[in-house]
Amino acid sequence: GPSSDPESDPKSRAIAGLRAAFDSDRPHASDPVLAVAPGRVNLVGGHTDYNDGLCLPLAVDRHVAVAAWPRDDDVIRAHATDFGETATFAPDDSPDGWAAYVAAVARVLREDVTLPGADLAIASDVPSGAGLSSSAALELAVGQSLLGVADATMDPTDLALACWRAEREGVGVECGILDQFASGLCEPDSALFLDCRSREFEHVAFGGDVGILVVDTGVSHELADSGYNDRVRECREAVAALAAASDSNLTSLRDVDTDLLERHADALDDVHYRRARHVVSENERVETARKALAAGNFDTVGDAMYESHESLRDDYEVSCAELDAAVELASETAGVYGARMTGGGFGGSAVALVDGSELDRVEREIRASVSSRVGDAADVFACRPSGGVRLVMSD
């Protein structure tokens, strides 16, 4: 597989890419700084983060790696080894495409930290557009590498928040903190229970042997072009209507429970009612899954995942035929506790929670029918819950 092939290891590719792109015109004596940040799946808690709600992600063992050398000016040159492009920009420039993420992270960090310019090379094995948070992984890895070349440190929560601001301000997606916190703060062999209102979190170790399987539908999504910002707006409108109807100062759907929602259902049209019902019920499912995960009650976690998928499909309307097919296929496979779409939706990936001792067989079985059931571009891979962003030795 890809992880056993040194050619495809993002760390080695980032270092080789850095030397190939930049060493010839500016030889370096020192070893580069090397940072890695993971992609993520979310076990349950979809579209709750921007509603001040709860979620339960874990980091996957797929990473964006960034190798970096400091410069003695304030210019950043960034080389994307995976598509052979190099972008060069000064602090006030606003480059397009992938470089926008790099520039946005540097700009936000410079508000708090003195950063020199840097030469960077980026390599990734997090599929992009697959709902696995490749952009947050890029942001966190770039941020950690820039701190590394500056010899600066930052509280991991502050780094995650800086990257979240970079995504919102630099790229224009009204996302919540889920992806940046998952890529920044997860620990191996556990999920991250995250309260997006207080921003407090807890590492939830699995109470038994479970595996994680990702089914990437191959249907690419682009958050900025999708209905994502529409959903953010619909939730805001639902909150305003419920606040008026209940004559209370609730400020987000986190303040709404099933009881309040049902009492004031008349204040909402059908669409806004269903959007709110998804968020309110999803927060409850996260609480349930968190406890069940720690206790080893994986059937309960799995049920919460299936219910979450149905709610995202029917009430929130962010699924698609390929995601539904992936979840259905997983649900028919022995050894699977539960499955749901993960990420923003409208394409991307589904995640399945699997009996750890059955993971290889489950992966083989799902792989055998994934192209006929989900689509020709679909891919299946098992992953291990891994740690968040970190600096690693570069040799």
The 310-339 site mask, x for binding ligand GAF (CB under 6 A), equals ------------------------------
| 52 touches ligand GAF by CB under 6 A | no
Strands (DSSP E) found in 285-372 = 336-341, 349-355
| 47 touches ligand GAF by CB under 6 A | yes
Residue 45 neighbours by CB under 8 Å, 6+ apart: 53, 54, 55, 56, 57, 178, 194, 282, 283, 285, 286, 308
| 49 touches ligand GAF by CB under 6 A | yes
Phi (first) and psi of residue 152, to 5 degrees: -110, 155
Candidate ranges 62-70, 74-82, 171-179, 243-251; the one touching ligand GAF (CB under 6 A): 171-179
Catalytic residue among 52, 119, 179, 216: 179
Residue 288 neighbours by CB under 8 Å, 6+ apart: 300, 304
| 38 touches ligand GAF by CB under 6 A | no
d(CA 256, CA 56): 20
Record the tokens describing residue 222, joined without a space: 């682009």
| 98 touches ligand GAF by CB under 6 A | no
| 216 touches ligand GAF by CB under 6 A | no
| 57 touches ligand GAF by CB under 6 A | no
Q: Is 179 a residue of the active site?
A: yes
Candidate list 37, 38, 50, 298; residue touching ligand GAF; CB under 6 A:
50
User: Considering the complex, what minimum distance in angstroms separates the CB of residue 291 from ligand GAF?
Assistant: 20
Candidate ranges 45-53, 98-106, 294-302, 381-389; the one touching ligand GAF (CB under 6 A): 45-53
Q: How many residues bind ligand GAF (CB under 6 A)?
A: 12
| 206 touches ligand GAF by CB under 6 A | no
Candidate list 176, 211, 302, 385; residue touching ligand GAF; CB under 6 A:
176
Three-state DSSP state, 123: strand
Beta bridge partners of 386: 59
| 127 touches ligand GAF by CB under 6 A | no
Record the tokens describing residue 229, joined without a space: 């910002």
Residue 7 burial (CB count, 10 A): 8
Candidate list 119, 125, 139, 179; residue touching ligand GAF; CB under 6 A:
179
User: Considering the complex, what minimum distance in angstroms separates the CB of residue 196 from ligand GAF?
Assistant: 9
Three-state DSSP state, 278: helix
Nearest to 378 by CA among 332, 316, 330, 309: 330
Nearest to 204 by CA among 8, 55, 10: 55
Question: What is the DSSP secondary-structure string of 152-167?
Answer: ----HHHHHHHHHHHI
Candidate ranges 89-97, 98-106, 172-180, 370-378; the one touching ligand GAF (CB under 6 A): 172-180
Candidate list 46, 218, 302, 385; residue touching ligand GAF; CB under 6 A:
46
Record the tokens describing residue 366, joined without a space: 């799902």
| 221 touches ligand GAF by CB under 6 A | no
- Measured CA to CA in angstroms, residue 172 lies from 53, 61, 176, 228 at distances of 21, 28, 12, 11
Candidate list 43, 104, 141, 175; residue touching ligand GAF; CB under 6 A:
175
Residue 67 or 162: which CB sits closer to ligand GAF? 162
Question: What is the DSSP secondary-structure string of 66-113?
Answer: EEEEE-SSS-EEEEETTTTEEEEE-TT----THHHHHHHHHHHHHTTS
Residue 80 or 341: which CB sits closer to ligand GAF? 341
The 129-158 site mask, x for binding ligand GAF (CB under 6 A), equals ----x-------------------------
Catalytic residue ranges? 179
Which spans of this chain sit near ligand GAF (rule: CB under 6 A)?
A: 42, 46-47, 49-50, 133, 175-176, 178-179, 343-344
